[in-house]
Amino acid sequence: MVLKTKLTELLGIEHPIVQGGMQWVGVAELVAAVSNAGGLGLITALTQPTPEALRAEIRRTRTMTNKPFGVNLTFLPAMTPPPYDEYAQVIIDEGIKVVETAGNNPGKYIKQFKAAGIVVLHKCTAVRHALSAQKLGVDIISMDGFECAGHPGEGFVGGLILLAKSFKAFNIPYIASGGFADGVGLAGALAMGAEGINMGTRFMCTVESPIHQKIKEAIVAGDEYQTSLVFTPFRNTSRIYKNSVAVEVNKREKNPNVKFEDIRDLVSGARGRQVYTTGDPEYGVWTAGQVMGLINDIPTCQDLCTRIVADAEAIITSRLNSMVVAKAHL
């Protein structure tokens, strides 16, 4: 048996599971492994230093899988923004069929991708933003709850509320993101109207994930309390792993007059990337979600996806179905 949803039909994938965009993590090895496992792998475009490097990564991924995969393109506030136009053109030129967009003011690029016949999945942290994306013509909404790693938005609303509101709000399919790692979560998301789930931290902790083994072990050892929220004073809140660096950032941010320059030395992206290569979880800031509390092993992507779907099917067919009985039997 398989779980057939609007997501699997629209994307041509076997399982309703999407691997979210993750800086320094969403590269060919992981993307291909997720797609080969029946989910949708996503290359993180901005992990590649140039648009041409993204082109090479797309072509490298195609040597590892003949299954559908896509590209994540996130639009972040920056003094000197990346050449988004060029990244978008590479995605179109290379014939990518699915793009996950996220971040600020994606309208121009959504129209561009749609004109090229690309399925657009847009990540949102608020229903009002999702409704705007729906008007722009996106095909799928990814509702990202406060539990998520990375940027949970500034509304601080959990996935339970967002999914329940989404059930009545949209005319297009939506998937659930933030806090998902197992079949219980998948079954729950489907019960709340979602057509699938998006997982980031869970896929970081797999055999094929490109990060250091010691970081994977830190995720397994961590729990739902092992995260911190940083950058909130700058309205760019991010959920990261709670290490000594995060504690110091939070300490400095308590100053009511804090400026970004006061923490710049601690939150360098270069230091964060080194965490994944050196295996020292204390070296810099790195993203992780509260879902760490549900992660207890480091499986292959194939084993993980198979297990999640099998567990979800068992919950749906046995537990949920058994609750529906004829009134006479009450």
Mean pLDDT taken over the chain:
96
Q: List the domains of the chain with CATH numbers.
A: 6-210 (3.20.20.70), 227-287 (no CATH)
Q: For 276-285, what is the mean pLDDT?
A: 96
Q: For 185-209, what is the mean pLDDT?
A: 98
Place of tokens 């995720």: 219
Nearest to 138, CA basis, from 113, 157, 162, 168: 113
Q: Percentage of the chain surpassing pLDDT 90?
A: 93
- Whole-structure pTM over 0.85, yes or no? yes
What are the CA-CA distances from residue 80 to residues 83, 105, 153 (Å)?
9, 16, 22
- Above 80 in pLDDT, residue 77? no
SS3 171: coil
The C-alpha atoms of residue 122 and residue 10 are separated, in whole angstroms, by: 15
Express each pLDDT in 216-238 by its tens digit.
999 999 999 999 999 999 999 99
Express each pLDDT in 103-156 by its tens digit.
988 999 999 999 999 999 999 999 999 999 999 999 999 999 999 999 999 999
- Above 70 in pLDDT, residue 329? no
- Above 70 in pLDDT, residue 171? yes
Place of tokens 């993180």: 44
The C-alpha atoms of residue 144 and residue 149 are separated, in whole angstroms, by: 10
The C-alpha atoms of residue 61 and residue 5 are separated, in whole angstroms, by: 26
